[in-house]
Structure 1
Amino acid sequence: MSVITPELLTRFDVPGPRYTSYPTADRFVEAFSEADYIQALDQRHEATRLKGQPLSLYVHIPFCESLCYYCACNKIITKHKDRAATYLRYLAREVELQVEHLGTGHSISQLHLGGGTPTFLSDDELRELVAMLRRHFQFVPGGEYSVEVDPRTVDENRLSVLAELGFNRLSFGVQDFDPAVQKAIHRVQPAEKVFSMVHAARALGFESVNVDLIYGLPLQTPESFARTLAQVNELRPDRIALYAYAHLPERFKPQRRIHAAELPLAGAKVAMLAQSLDAFSDAGYVYIGMDHFALPDDALAVAKRQGRLHRNFQGYSTQPDCDLIALGVSAIGRMGTTYSQNAKTIEEYCDALDQGHLPIVRGMALSRDDLIRRAVIMALMCQGQLQFESINLAWLIDFKTYFASEMQMLQEMQDQGLVQLTDTGIEVSTMGWFFVRAVGMVFDRYLQQGLSRAQFSKIL
């Protein structure tokens, strides 16, 4: 990793999209309505070529028992467990409205429970949720069925229930093991608890265990974060997600409780990122791209080696690119050539369903240019390379003419050793993988037209 200099890291320490979609969600418009989404559902239902092609499901559980100060997720802080039962009834109604147009019995190859805290639900509520989904959809063997877990909310019995329900992947929110940092972000969880839950998950046969980390949090220093990195390597999860903290208190109210004076300076953040890259590389992890690492035998690392890596709203995936049905407050879905998002408040979400409407409040129908650029960005993000001929044949364009200005911008990245340009295509270098978001940004028409980047997190 020595070729990745602090100067290069600092140069690319700029805001940019994560490209879980293109165009990104900030481009969604309220002019896209429930009627537009229903049309997309009907079109899929009528398309014989899509019969048997699996769907992906995302379910947003917004509830948390306590507030984490760094959090930018859509959540509801409550101790009232009875709210979950009510919410599940609305989720069931939303699914019923979806399948009225889509039809029942569709195959599902990917399910992700996100939040909030999905494990806010009781065991019986989790059983109820999964049973409801299985009544309407067919879960295929070998799919990715994952759930986000707050280690503070589970024990071995709870994990065994998740395994019983068919979940095969867990993601534990750790962020940092340092007690002082945990106190500063209002998320105190002893390392011993996390170690115990990861060991239990392995004993129960979960295929993959992910740990989330954040650098740039209050009171973090390169020295303290080095200790966390050593503990994570000792824990040896199958996957690691390493995110940069984006302090945006004007947008995310909980972050106002974080004292800006306690945040590490830019130089310290770069140092923490550099030492993380070294630590995980030395421990044998494969860099998947964009914040993600995996052990060489993990399905994600295997998919990258075999060129089968995909990307959707949940991040990198081994499952083929497919339509995504999103359920719950604020959830974002994809159907055909459209994106859509549900109401962001539970009041608005429930009100729409009470009136017999899907809670769609915004979205967009992708233009031909959007689709071409999505194909380019996702090829670079997932495969790390692109052949001009494949895009030319798929979209009936001349790549070098269509993207003449973008090719000029890539010349500078080639000079920096991030990409290699040939007569036949573009290849992201080994070093360039760590800056792949910046490579993708070259092809983002909305960014290049001057859309503000301030709303995005830093790309490193």
Structure 2
Amino acid sequence: MKNDSRIVWDMELINRYDLSGPRYTSYPTAVQFDPALSASELVHQGQNSADKQAPLSLYVHIPFCAHVCYYCACNKVITRNRDRAQPYLETVYREMEQLSQWYSDDRIVDQLHWGGGTPTFISDSQMYELMQALRRQFNLRNDDQGDYSIEIDPREASPETLDVLRQTGFNRISLGVQDLDPQVQQAVNRVQPLEQTQAVLDKARQLGFSSINMDLIYGLPHQSLESFDKTLDVVIGMNPDRLSVFNYAHLPDRFRSQKHINPEQLPSPETKLAILQHSINKLLDAGYVYIGMDHFAKPDDSLALAQAAGQLHRNFQGYTTHAECDLVAMGVSAISQIGRVYYQNEHDLAAYTQAVTQQKHAIRRGVCLTDDDIIRGAVINQLICHFELDTTTIEQRFGILFNDYFNQEQSELTQFEADGLIQRHGSRIEVTPAGRLLIRRICMAFDAYIPKQQPTRGYSRII
């Protein structure tokens, strides 16, 4: 399909459909992961259903942060004691060795991502050591043609660190920015001068990193339409290849650090929506393509090109160009997708360490996908990545009659069509410019695990 970034802002539809719902980084979502499933069964099913000729994607979770950002909902360990990193890495190496025996099969690693926490919390020598360990256990590329990325806190990245990252094979970085307004930064305990971010950006470009992403967050304390517009002006001027504009969900009962945020300082729901609408329009006017949900990319970026070619995919790192890869994840709370299996590691650092020490792996819970999961997951992935669906393709791929198989979903699709969220033309379902903001709600129609006609719990708001 051709890229079409148009968005129509329909407040009546938004008010009606903006419930809570999954982000569909997997289907079934992590809510369905079952701790009663044994690790041996999950691994067995994964090995037997994996395509051993296909490339791999690797993920390493590094949970440590030297400072707490009050808005953060990631699985993290706040410490200034850098000595905690080495014992954790030793545990990761032990887990990595087991994962290599299970899944490597000399499959080439086309995608690698380090996330956190703050991956650059570890020292330059530890980064080098971690990458060497990965190269010993897995078939990493040496031609700079892979998609090797890392999340960077500009406060924790010296020019020497960027040198090490580039030398060891990274070619993409994601910079946490969130907001450039000093008052907002103070309120969320993330004081990060523009000069610091600009220095990392300039060094990364000098070193030849092929893609640079920046993360922003709307809905933080003291933000206004005017203040966030100034942040956007500066960020657009910095010219990143990709931008993520995330919604801040204030859930202090779930995330302890958010208790430090004064709810009276948060922008109103109306202001948040105005900020989002303005951000989308401003980024489109600046030449970015609306990939979906929170993500934007330049037209020549690989994400936009993959979407234009109908090859975009979605996994636990968000939108990706590597649909064919099994995802092997290591570290505390990391989630893997191998063949027809999803599973997640222990979420607590002590439990993760003990599990790897005693049994060489840390698998805590997971799910084995049924045929129905595969079919519904394919439909959801196609809609959330491309805003359109050819039902004939689904019929041919899975040997079903679409309207018969999804008979119970037809009334909801009819309602979506009547409300202007989708259009149906024969075998094609197209999400309208008014429906794109509500794509998660449209995907929920195909989710067999969500009770129909009632709000969902445990998920963030759609917008």
Q: How many angstroms apart in 2 are the aligned matches of 1:177 and 1:27?
A: 38
Structure 2 match to 1:27: 32
Once the 2 structures are TM-superposed, how far is the Cα of residue 106 of structure 1 from its aligned partner? 2.2
Quick check: 230-239 or 406-415, which moved more?
A: 406-415
Which of 395, 399, 419 is equivalent to 2:402? 399
Tell me the residue number matched to 2:441.
438
Give the alignment partner of residue 251 of structure 1, picking from 251, 254, 273.
254
Deviation at 1:408, TM superposition (A): 2.0
Alpha-carbon separation, structure 1, partners of 2:424 and 2:453: 26
Q: Is the 8 A contact 2:355 2:361 kept in 1?
A: yes
Name the structure 1 match of 2:88.
87
Contact 1:147 1:171 in 2 (8 A): yes
What are the within-5 Å matches in structure 2 for residues 23-422 of structure 1? 23-43=28-48, 50-140=51-141, 141=143, 142-422=145-425
Contact residue 46 and residue 340 of structure 2 kept, 8 A: no
CA offsets 1:157-212 (integer angstroms, 9 cap, x no match): 21121111111110001111111111111111011211221122111111110000
Contact kept, 8 Å, 1:312 with 1:321, in 2: the verdict is no
Measured in 1, the distance between the counterparts of 2:12 and 2:41 equals 47
Q: What is the CA–CA distance in structure 2 between the aligned matches of 1:165 and 1:450, rounded to whole Å?
A: 51
Q: Is the 8 A contact 2:223 2:267 kept in 1?
A: yes
Alignment-mate amino acid for residue 263 of structure 1: L
Decide whether aligned partners of structure 1 residues 430 and 452 sit closer, same or farther in structure 2, where only a CA change above 3 A counts. Answer: closer
Q: What per-residue deviation string (whole Å, max 9, x for no partner) do you get for residues 6-60 of structure 1?
A: 444444432211111011101111112211222134425xx7xx33310111110
C-alpha separation in 2, matches of 1:450 and 1:278: 32
Q: CA deviation at 1:451?
A: 7.7
* Aligned residue type for 1:25: A
Give SS of 2:148's match. strand
1:312 shift after superposition: 1.0
Q: Matched residue of 2:449: which SS? A: helix
Letter paired with 1:309 = L
Contact 2:10 2:434 in 1 (8 A): no
Letter in 1 for 2:125: D
Output the amino acid matched with 2:330.
L
The DSSP-based 3-state class of the residue aligned with 1:249 is coil
The worse-fitting range, judged by mean Cα deviation, of 73-82 and 221-230 is 221-230
Identity of aligned residues (%): 47
Q: CA deviation at 1:367?
A: 1.7
- State the secondary structure of the residue aligned to 2:176: strand
Taking the aligned partners of 2:60 and 2:452, their CA distance within structure 1 comes to 34
CA distance in structure 1 between the partners assigned to 2:81 and 2:158 by the alignment = 20
Residue aligned with 1:355, SS? helix
Contact persistence 2:179–2:231 (CA under 8 A) = yes
Question: Residue 209 of structure 1 aligns to a residue in which SS?
Answer: strand
Structure 1 runs of 4+ aligned residues shifted over 6 Å read: none
Measured after TM superposition, the shift of residue 441 of structure 1 is 1.3
Q: Is the 8 A contact 1:6 1:274 kept in 2?
A: no
TM-score by length of structure 1 reads 0.95
| CA drift at 1:376 | 0.5
Task: Note if contact 1:143-1:319 (Cα within 8 Å) is conserved in structure 2.
Answer: no
Hey, what's the Cα distance between the residues in 1 that align with 2:384 and 2:453? 22
Distance in 1 (alpha carbons) for counterparts of 2:115 and 2:273: 29
Aligned pair 1:16/2:21, yes or no? Answer: yes
- Residue 19 of structure 2 aligns to a residue in which SS? coil
Q: CA deviation at 1:103?
A: 4.7
Query: Structure 1: which amino acid aligns with 2:36?
Result: A
Q: Given the alignment of the two structures, is residue 5 of structure 1 paired with residue 18 of structure 2, yes or no?
A: no
Is the CA contact (8 Å cut-off) linking 1:6 and 1:270 kept in structure 2? no
- Which consecutive unaligned segments of at least 5 residues does structure 2 have? 1-5
Aligned equivalents of 2:376, 2:314: Cα separation in 1 = 14
Mapped partners of 1:8, 1:313: distance in 2: 28
- The residue type equivalent to 1:183 in the other structure is Q
Asked if the contact 1:442/1:448 (under 8 Å) is kept, the reply is no
Secondary structure, aligned partner of 1:220? coil
Unaligned ranges ≥5, structure 1: none
TM-score normalised by structure 2 residue count:
0.95
Q: Secondary structure at the match of 1:447?
A: coil
**CA contact under 8 A between 2:174 and 2:215: conserved in structure 1?**
yes
Q: Structure 1 pair 359/452, CA: closer, same or farther in 2 (3 Å)?
A: farther
Separation in 2 of the partners of 1:355 and 1:125?
24
CA distance in 1, matches of 2:61, 2:388: 33
Call closer, same or farther: CA 1:262–1:86 in 2, change over 3 Å. Answer: same
Report Cα offsets for 1:283-303 as digits up to 9, x if no partner: 010001111000111111111
CA deviation after TM superposition for structure 1 residue 413, in Å = 2.3
Pairwise CA RMSD:
1.7
Deviates more, 1:191-200 or 1:323-332: 191-200
Query: For residue 461 of structure 2, what is the aligned residue in structure 1?
Result: 458
Matched AA of 2:25:
T
Q: 1:197 to 1:103 in 2, by over 3 A?
A: closer
